[in-house]
Structure 1
Amino acid sequence: MTAQRNSAGDGMETAYGFRTVERGEKQPLVNEVFHKVAKRYDVMNDVMSAGLHRLWKDAMVASLGPPRRAGYRTLDVAGGTGDIAFRIVEASGRNAHVTVLDINGSMLSVGAERAEKKGLSDHLDFVEANAEALPFEAGSFDAYTIAFGIRNVPRIDVALAEAYRVLRRGGRLLVLEFSEVDMPLLDKVYDAWSFNAIPRFGRMITGDGEPYRYLVESIRTFPRQEDFAAMIRAAGFSRVGYTNYTGGIAALHSGWKL
């Protein structure tokens, strides 16, 4: 029921959940998962985190503390449905501009529709592109955020290098991701919930439990907190640290381009 966590992300390119796939195969498989769950993505996150993802995302944006001034630019990667982007815009008093980037067009469509309903379209733009090859000039953004998306990127080291490139000097990286539980008993309860309940709920909600099984497995192969922090440092970031949420079920990683 468990798999070896990748210590430096080097195995993530061929890890599709607990399965090993060929290089180049993972991205199309992940794309298919998110095409299937796009319309129910927020429900999926509620199921996977028992609703706690909303608190974790609030804490992430509070940590970012976007200033209430015009001209502040954030790139939110793998944020197609707009969850983080909307929070950033509102926290800035609707002064910040957020570019939402996602490789999955279905997710972006959901986000653009939600932005329109919330009256936030003027503060956002939606870009379909790959986190490993960002279509922006160096030093374009004040902040780079990614929530529950980095583990789905095949070449995490490349994505982190791209994050560093597009940030200006003094810019900040924030990565929110499911992580390794470090609390006795909670880890057993969380495993039982993840492997038994989540795929079952996924089948009830979307008619297909398989995407949820992949997402649960992908959490177990993602590097531990210290190992992922080391990857962020290797990409060039300074003052790297992380904060565990709910006993390590999720962790918020931070780094600065100094």
Structure 2
Amino acid sequence: MSDMGDRQGSDNTTHFGFKTVREDEKAQRVAEVFHSVAAKYDLMNDLMSGGIHRLWKRFTIELSGVRSGNRVLDIAGGTGDLTLKFSRLVGPEGQVVLADINDSMLKVGRDRLLDRGVAGNVTFVQADAEALPFPDNHFDCITIAFGLRNVTHKERAIESMLRVLKPGGRLLVLEFSKPNNPLLSKVYDKYSFNVLPVMGKLITNDSESYRYLAESIRMHPDQETLKAMMEDAGFVRVSYHNMTGGIVALHRGIKP
């Protein structure tokens, strides 16, 4: 499956879930989704995944190779799950930047981390993944967990991440992907389009946002397509690990 969201013709339109919208409209619509769900985001993640998202994130941390003194960028860091772990790994000599384009998510993440006593080595930046406001060759590791599918121009974002990584630095993309079993795929589709919107309605009084999230997962590039996009941007030794039958994949690439 090609990344139609990035290459939807020359009329400056893109995908917002299954809808076609103007490119300048998409960012605002995605922002509205996350403004709506920010307060209950963690609860919904636990309910939607049965808590398995914590295992996916733990594997991401393990594969990151982050150690004391490193500089880490957590893009689309939301409520700060990865940032919390990274802040402990890098220690007082290191630095973690939690970046999110959405102000509501950033505030929830900042409040949550401050409540847990995380302060000294973490900074919070409202930033667009397509145009990261950081110098070249700056970070040892970048993670983006469940955020890339919401980016309008994914190639631009991947190139921007490459630019701000140090040579030898690692990018890890944790994202919903394509199940590798047809039966699992059918079950997953029914769950996504029938159960998620109902759950969203009950927990956040917002079924439409969760319908969008289900649709955005289907429009995201499959494992091989995303691997090729990372290689095209300039990453080397790109690999991916399927988790939970390919429902989620973790891609990893190195800046040469």
Q: Which bin holds the TM-score, normalised by the shorter protein?
A: over 0.9
- C-alpha displacement of 1:115: 1.1
State the distance in 1 between where 2:217 and 2:48 align.
11
Corresponding position of 2:166: 168
TM-score by length of 2: 0.94
Corresponding position of 2:107: 109
State the distance in 2 between where 1:55 and 1:190 align.
19
Query: Which shifted more, 4-13 or 168-177?
Result: 4-13
Find the partner of 1:222 among 216, 220, 223.
220
Change (3 A) 1:8 1:228: farther
Alpha carbon RMSD of aligned pairs, Å?
Answer: 1.7
Return the letter of the residue paired with 2:189. Answer: D
Corresponding position of 1:146: 144
> What pairs up with 1:159-198 in 2 under 5 angstroms?
159-198=157-196
TM-score by length of 1: 0.93
SS of the equivalent of 2:195 reads: helix
Aligned length, in residue pairs: 253
Asked if the contact 1:8/1:231 (under 8 Å) is kept, the reply is: no
Consecutive unaligned residues in structure 2, runs of 5 or more: none
Find the partner of 2:7 among 5, 10, 14.
10
Identity %, equivalent residues: 50
Consecutive unaligned residues in structure 1, runs of 5 or more: none
SS of the equivalent of 2:251 reads: strand
Return the letter of the residue paired with 1:44. Answer: M
Deviation digits for residues 146-184 of structure 1, max 9, x if unmatched?
Answer: 000000000100000100000011100000000000023
Corresponding position of 1:79: 77
SS of the equivalent of 2:63 reads: helix
Change (3 A) 1:159 1:211: same
Corresponding position of 1:89: 87
Corresponding position of 2:199: 201
Moved over 6 A (4+): none
Return the letter of the residue paired with 2:123. Answer: D
Asked if the contact 1:7/1:224 (under 8 Å) is kept, the reply is: no
State the distance in 2 between where 1:222 and 1:143 align.
23
